[in-house]
A and B are shown apart, each in its own frame.
Chain A
Amino acid sequence: MLDEGVIKAVLTEALATGGEMSEIFVEDKASTVLRLDDSRIEDVSSGRDRGAGIRVFAGERTSYAYTNVLAEESLLDAARAARAGLDGEPGAVTADLRRPEGLPSHPVGRPPEDTDKAEKVAVLQAADESARASGGEVRQVVATLMDTRQKVLIASSDGRIAEDDRTRVRFAAQVVASRDGEIATGFEAPGHSGGMELLDRFPAAELGAKAAGKAIRMLDARPSPAGQFPVVLGPGQGGVLIHEACGHGLEADTLVKKASVYADRHGERFGSEDVTIVDDGSDIGAWGSFGVDDEGTPAQRTVLFDRGVLVGHMSDLRSAAKIEHPPTGNGRRQSYAHLPIVRMTNTYLLPGPDDPEEILRSVERGVYAAAFAGGEVNPATGNFVFGMSEAYLIENGEITHPIRGATLIGNGPQVLGAIDAVGFDFDRKEGVCGKDGQHAPVCNGMPTVLLGTMTVGGTEA
């Protein structure tokens, strides 16, 4: 993407007045979005975004400057802007830039850029038609097909150089249904690191019908009861709970600042023997995967909780240096316009020994959470709240009525302790995680799980 001579000149310029390390991140990203709404293809957008960011480490301070002009003179200007305020001796740039080997590679079967947009249009129309054919209650369908190809290059004065080529495709269907003044929504949005073959695994028509089915079912929902209940998390989307309630608190930047409820608690038991949680940026083809992270560290699998015991954390270069551990490949940035920060990739609660059907049968009265709309957690306290977008009552071991307006409220460390059973099934859901104003594609996965007693918020006191 850039000549090594230019790279070295920029890294050298960035260290001309001091600092321990300089780094350049170069990005060339092409994006396409097609959106169907109201049965019309309303939006066909594409864009090209190129730029580079230059970072200088000097003591406790990180300085950053970026440009979206990739000419050498602009890059040198950015290097000078990044080192502004420093007035020390020039730092050294290693002559020998080394590339990491054996990086995970995420195959692209059918590259989106080689796919005719007419074919993409047909995919959206298929989802619309199947959703509308699912029932007269369907009022509105939005289908979106997004693909990006992001090429990055990272090089640093201490000798790192790495490139990555990331293609991601995501397909989303959102359905609104109504009957007798009641309105409900259904949403499905699979994605992966790979090409258009995503749609072979998740055919558009099936996806549209699935989202519509959910919206129609939720029309019959009653107000959720409020109080303390056992909660069964369905496979897949309950993973957002793990992401929010456990993952964010194990991002090393929050640990370093002692802003995490998990700080200084490694080795402590939080859950049963069946609770093992990993973050795995190397999972082939997963939505949150890559070859190297945005600082050039190879993607890896990190065990966070091993059979109930807190053993791991996730870090980028800076937080890794502070806690004196090797970086775990979790330094990610939204684009060249952002400083890297510690982010999750694909975060999974691994399958356990229990039969999912038995788990359900063991509950006399409780709530089954089939899908969450999202959630929020405070890493310092571990407190979280999740809204359920699809939930049901469990009565005498069986799923009965859909309920609406249900939220799950609790505390991260406590919820791990509340995991009473872990199913042998597994599913994953893709999403976009926001932190410090930056967005990153992440994936969450888990089996069916029983939480002993949880606070459920609802409108029926």
Chain B
Amino acid sequence: MSSDSGLLPIAEGLVERARAGEELEAFVTHSRNFEVKAFEGGVESLSSAEPRGAGVRLITESRPGFAYTTDLTDEGLSELVEEARTNATFSTPDEAVGLAPEWDEPPADVPGLLDLGQLEVTPERKVEFVLELERETREADPRIRTVEDSVYADAISEVAIATTAGIRGGFTQSDAWCYSVAIATDGDDTEVGFEFDLARGLAGLDADTTGKRSAARALDVLGAQKIPSARMPVVLDRYTAGQFLGVIAGALTGEAVQKGRSLFAGRLDTLVASEKLTLWDDGRVEGAPGSGPWDAEGVPTQRTEVIQNGALRSFLYDVTSARREGRRASTGNASRAGFKSAPGPAPSNLAFETTGESRADLLKGAGRAFLVQDFHGVHSGANAVTGDFSVGATGRLLHDGAPGQPVKEVTIALPMLEILRGVVAVADDRRWLPFGGSLGGATTLIAEMTIAGS
């Protein structure tokens, strides 16, 4: 858990600039990024960089101010603190605003955040990898007309935090990911398929499987048609189950509830879902993208049961939203989009607990159902404040567990709470999806939804 490029001293230097009576939190990042894209057997583009920057939250007389900069010179850092100090004078005093308390002992590491082998992977190997990904996607089937995108990217990211409350910490993590987008054509019909892979390093990625799956996701829905409007059971695959989790994620924070922006407001300790459903958040899952020893405010990460057997048990808190409810403690759910953003509450790794079935058994039990392989328009058709859910879908009709007729251009709709109450089973095939957070998608059976087609 060391920070070897001098980030912590920069963070400490920012803290030393705080005046008496001021609280200050300094967050400094440095990353090494690489990305390569391939197209039609060649390299299309390569990009590399080492961006760094610092963000400062300064609280004076209960007023918070925030500023960021990419200028890490002495002068730049002094200007940064001065800017945050000025900004603080314009915010409304809020007793709930505060910094994380000092650690009794340093938070335990999450094993495996840094793949040391990744430091040795050459750009040539990365190029070779993306070319293989592109080739596997393109050659998976003669109906693959083109591979629109094939991408390999990685980042080695260091973060450091220091606060006037006494927190001092830093850690380094590595991430590598890849994806390809396949376009399949058969006659007049064209469909698009997307698949990705995610690991701590290139060694954990599989170009062959990812490419073939991208192709399969396009090929699977060739010949898709509208079906007549109906109500029927719906199966979300791992991908669409993750998308659905992403929608409700925004409604699960204490802040959303306090501010009347959550469909779960006022429902604590009531049944909000099927008794088969348990939903948890855990910032310490090994191998999951949202893991770390502490959150964006320096609070040690933890596991929180959000929904237990259908009953809503807890929301997710950062320091401010926790303090707003009196003596409550943060659940370690502060998050930030890099040094340019002030921390705010968000899930870390959010997932439905499996009900134990394999995917195959779940599909068999679904009978005649609609297997949803892709949602369209989730960010517009789903509203975590009102609970409205009405989105476009592509997928296949299931007959006795076997995927049949491909379906497209239909809308599926049901209020979100009714979707949660309708969950019949969650399979044991969870994977982590980095869709604006870290979401554990597993094949999920929902008793019945409205499908609007022809």
Q: Which residues of A are interface residues toward B (Cβ below 8 A)? A: 34, 37-51, 60-68, 78, 81-82, 84-85, 117-118, 120-121, 139-140, 176, 178, 183-185, 224, 226-228, 254, 257-259, 261, 337, 339, 372-376, 378, 380-381, 383-387, 389, 404-407, 409-411, 436, 455-461
B2 → chain A closest CB, angstroms: 24
A401 → chain B closest CB, angstroms: 16
24 contacts across the A-B interface (CB closer than 8 A): A43-B64, A43-B66, A45-B65, A49-B68, A50-B70, A60-B43, A64-B46, A66-B51, A78-B49, A176-B260, A183-B386, A183-B387, A376-B377, A376-B392, A385-B411, A405-B388, A406-B390, A407-B411, A436-B149, A457-B392, A457-B411, A457-B452, A458-B390, A459-B415
Which of B82-90, B108-116, B345-353 contacts the other chain?
B82-90
Contact B91 A140 (CB under 8 A): no
Q: Which residues of B are interface residues toward A (Cβ below 8 A)? A: 39, 42-53, 55, 64-71, 83, 86-88, 90-92, 94, 123, 145-146, 148-149, 183, 190-192, 226, 229-231, 258-261, 263, 340-342, 376-383, 385-392, 408-415, 450, 452-454
Contact B68 A47 (CB under 8 A): yes
B107 → chain A closest CB, angstroms: 27
Contact A178 B260 (CB under 8 A): yes
A41-B93 Cα distance, complex, nearest whole Å: 8
Chain A residues lying within 8 Å of B389, measured Cβ to Cβ, are 405
Residue of B nearest to A33 (CB): B66
Contact A455 B191 (CB under 8 A): no
Chain A residues lying within 8 Å of B65, measured Cβ to Cβ, are 44-45
Contact A458 B411 (CB under 8 A): yes
Chain B residues lying within 8 Å of A60, measured Cβ to Cβ, are 39, 42-44
Contact A337 B51 (CB under 8 A): yes
Besides A44-B66, A258-B145, 14 other A-B contacts (C-beta < 8 A): A37-B259, A38-B259, A39-B92, A47-B69, A49-B69, A49-B340, A63-B47, A68-B53, A140-B260, A226-B413, A376-B379, A387-B382, A458-B413, A458-B450
A62-B47 Cα distance, complex, nearest whole Å: 8
Known: A185-B383, A337-B51. A47 touches B260 (CB 8 A): no
Contact A459 B43 (CB under 8 A): no
Contact A118 B90 (CB under 8 A): yes
A256-B344 Cα distance, complex, nearest whole Å: 41
Contact B190 A373 (CB under 8 A): no
Most buried by B among A66, A118, A380: A380
Chain A residues lying within 8 Å of B190, measured Cβ to Cβ, are 261, 380-381
A5 → chain B closest CB, angstroms: 23
Contact A47 B340 (CB under 8 A): yes
Contact A461 B230 (CB under 8 A): yes
A40-B91 Cα distance, complex, nearest whole Å: 7
Contact A44 B70 (CB under 8 A): no
Contact A176 B385 (CB under 8 A): yes
Number of A-B contacts (CB under 8 A): 255
Contact B90 A385 (CB under 8 A): no
A36 → chain B closest CB, angstroms: 8
Contact B123 A85 (CB under 8 A): yes
Chain B residues lying within 8 Å of A120, measured Cβ to Cβ, are 90
Contact B260 A226 (CB under 8 A): no
Chain A residues lying within 8 Å of B71, measured Cβ to Cβ, are 48, 50
Checking B380, B412, B453 against A387 with a beta-carbon cut-off of 8 angstroms, the contacting residue is B380
A85-B46 Cα distance, complex, nearest whole Å: 10
Known: A81-B48, A139-B260, A456-B452. A381 touches B192 (CB 8 A): yes
A419-B109 Cα distance, complex, nearest whole Å: 59
A424-B415 Cα distance, complex, nearest whole Å: 38
Chain B residues lying within 8 Å of A45, measured Cβ to Cβ, are 65-68, 87, 341-342
Contact B47 A339 (CB under 8 A): yes
Residue of A nearest to B266 (CB): A181
Q: Which 7 A-B pairs have the closest CB atoms?
A: A457-B411, A387-B380, A385-B392, A385-B377, A226-B452, A387-B381, A374-B380
Residue of A nearest to B192 (CB): A380
Chain A residues lying within 8 Å of B409, measured Cβ to Cβ, are 383, 409-411, 455
Contact A459 B414 (CB under 8 A): yes
A96 → chain B closest CB, angstroms: 29
Contact B376 A257 (CB under 8 A): no
Contact A63 B67 (CB under 8 A): no
Residue of A nearest to B76 (CB): A48
B448 → chain A closest CB, angstroms: 11
A339-B48 Cα distance, complex, nearest whole Å: 11
Contact A84 B123 (CB under 8 A): yes
B296 → chain A closest CB, angstroms: 15
Contact A407 B91 (CB under 8 A): no
A376-B51 Cα distance, complex, nearest whole Å: 31
Contact B231 A404 (CB under 8 A): no
Contact A63 B46 (CB under 8 A): yes
B48 → chain A closest CB, angstroms: 5
Known: A50-B70, A64-B47, A184-B386. A40 touches B260 (CB 8 A): no
Contact A385 B391 (CB under 8 A): yes
Residue of A nearest to B49 (CB): A66
Chain B residues lying within 8 Å of A405, measured Cβ to Cβ, are 381, 388-390, 413
Chain A residues lying within 8 Å of B410, measured Cβ to Cβ, are 409, 457
Contact B145 A384 (CB under 8 A): no
Contact A386 B46 (CB under 8 A): no
A67 → chain B closest CB, angstroms: 7
Residue of B nearest to A460 (CB): B450
Known: A387-B391, A409-B410. A40 touches B92 (CB 8 A): yes
Contact B146 A258 (CB under 8 A): yes
A75 → chain B closest CB, angstroms: 13
A178-B262 Cα distance, complex, nearest whole Å: 12
Contact B44 A62 (CB under 8 A): yes
Chain A residues lying within 8 Å of B376, measured Cβ to Cβ, are 376, 378, 383-385, 409
Contact B48 A257 (CB under 8 A): no
Residue of B nearest to A459 (CB): B413
Contact B148 A176 (CB under 8 A): no
Most buried by B among A43, A224, A372: A43
Checking B42, B49, B68 against A65 with a beta-carbon cut-off of 8 angstroms, the contacting residue is B49
Contact B64 A459 (CB under 8 A): no
Chain A residues lying within 8 Å of B48, measured Cβ to Cβ, are 64-65, 81-82, 84
A416 → chain B closest CB, angstroms: 17
Contact B146 A44 (CB under 8 A): no
Contact A461 B229 (CB under 8 A): yes
A166-B378 Cα distance, complex, nearest whole Å: 32
Chain A residues lying within 8 Å of B390, measured Cβ to Cβ, are 224, 387, 405-407, 457-459
A131-B454 Cα distance, complex, nearest whole Å: 41
Contact A44 B51 (CB under 8 A): no
Chain A residues lying within 8 Å of B53, measured Cβ to Cβ, are 49, 68
A45-B86 Cα distance, complex, nearest whole Å: 10
Residue of A nearest to B412 (CB): A457
Chain A residues lying within 8 Å of B91, measured Cβ to Cβ, are 40-44
A241 → chain B closest CB, angstroms: 11
Known: A43-B64, A62-B44. A409 touches B392 (CB 8 A): yes
Contact B44 A49 (CB under 8 A): no
Contact B192 A378 (CB under 8 A): yes
Known: A34-B90, A44-B87, A339-B45. A67 touches B50 (CB 8 A): yes
A318 → chain B closest CB, angstroms: 9
Chain B residues lying within 8 Å of A385, measured Cβ to Cβ, are 376-377, 380-381, 391-392, 411
Chain A residues lying within 8 Å of B39, measured Cβ to Cβ, are 60, 257
Chain B residues lying within 8 Å of A178, measured Cβ to Cβ, are 260
Residue of B nearest to A182 (CB): B386
A457-B90 Cα distance, complex, nearest whole Å: 45
Residue of B nearest to A373 (CB): B380
Most buried by B among A78, A85, A339, A387: A387
Known: A176-B261, A387-B380. A46 touches B452 (CB 8 A): no
A38 → chain B closest CB, angstroms: 5
Contact A259 B377 (CB under 8 A): no
Chain A residues lying within 8 Å of B226, measured Cβ to Cβ, are 455
Contact A407 B381 (CB under 8 A): yes
